[in-house]
Amino acid sequence: MSSNRPDSDTVNKLQDLLSVNIDSQKGFQEAAETTTDLSLKQLFNEFGQNRAHNAAELRQYIISAGEKPTNSGSVSGAIHRWWIDAKQALTGNDAASVLTEAERGEDSIKHTYEKVLPEIIDPHARSVVERQYRNVKDTHDRVRQLRDASKIRNPRS
């Protein structure tokens, strides 16, 4: 990063992205812990590790800008994780339900990146956020494909 520090508005946007990555990582971790489908468990762990990497990268950038990074997710993320827990308890942790909720969470993180990205002017921060957005979008699309395929296999979901 150059000696010019990003403005506080950019740092605030990066804090927002950090929060949603924390939410997403926790959501994938919880989904991995509750699903009985071993391939989904492995995939959710991988996706969670990707989100943890994003969060670490954003933390480092925020620290290098002279700010203290957040250590928590958003309130809406906590509510979403509660909903996943409640739905799984009601549905017996079936793959289609878990994937439906995971896709809902992925919609949220994807939309946050889409909202923030055009507002980031700092070239280095923008490069980081663009790369992370591509990863987020790929994960979103993969989860949606898996959800759609699981509904075909189990049309009652």
pLDDT tens digits for range 108-117 = 899 999 999 9
The predicted model scores a pTM of 0.83
pLDDT of residue 27: 85
End-to-end CA distance of the chain: 48
pLDDT of residue 61: 92
Domain membership of residue 6 (yes or no) is no
The CATH number covering residue 123 comes to: 1.20.1260.10
Domain membership of residue 5 (yes or no) is no
Q: How many domains is the chain partitioned into structurally?
A: 1
pLDDT of residue 90: 46
pLDDT of residue 114: 96
Domain membership of residue 33 (yes or no) is yes
Tokens of 7: 């403005």
Domain membership of residue 4 (yes or no) is no
Q: Using only C-alpha atoms, what is the Rg of the chain?
A: 16
- Residue pair 120/13 in contact (Cβ under 8 Å)? The answer is yes
pLDDT, mean over the chain: 84
CA 52 to chain CA centroid, Å, is: 9
Domain membership of residue 1 (yes or no) is no
| Element of type H or E holding 22 | helix 8-34
Phi, psi of 152 (to 5 degrees): -70, -40
Region of residue 23 (phi > 0: left; psi between -120 and 50: alpha; otherwise: beta) = alpha
pLDDT in tens, the chain (157 residues): 444 566 888 999 999 999 999 988 988 888 888 888 899 999 999 999 999 999 999 999 999 999 999 887 666 655 555 556 645 554 566 777 778 878 888 888 999 999 999 999 899 999 999 999 999 999 999 999 998 888 776 655 4
HSE value, Cβ hemisphere, 13 Å, CA-based, for 45: 10
Q: How does DSSP classify residue 6?
A: P
Q: Which residue has the tokens 């439906």?
A: 100
pLDDT of residue 108: 87
**Structural domain that includes position 78:** 11-153
Domain membership of residue 91 (yes or no) is yes
Taking CA 156 as the corner, what is the angle to CA 154 and CA 157, rounded to the nearest 5 degrees? 75
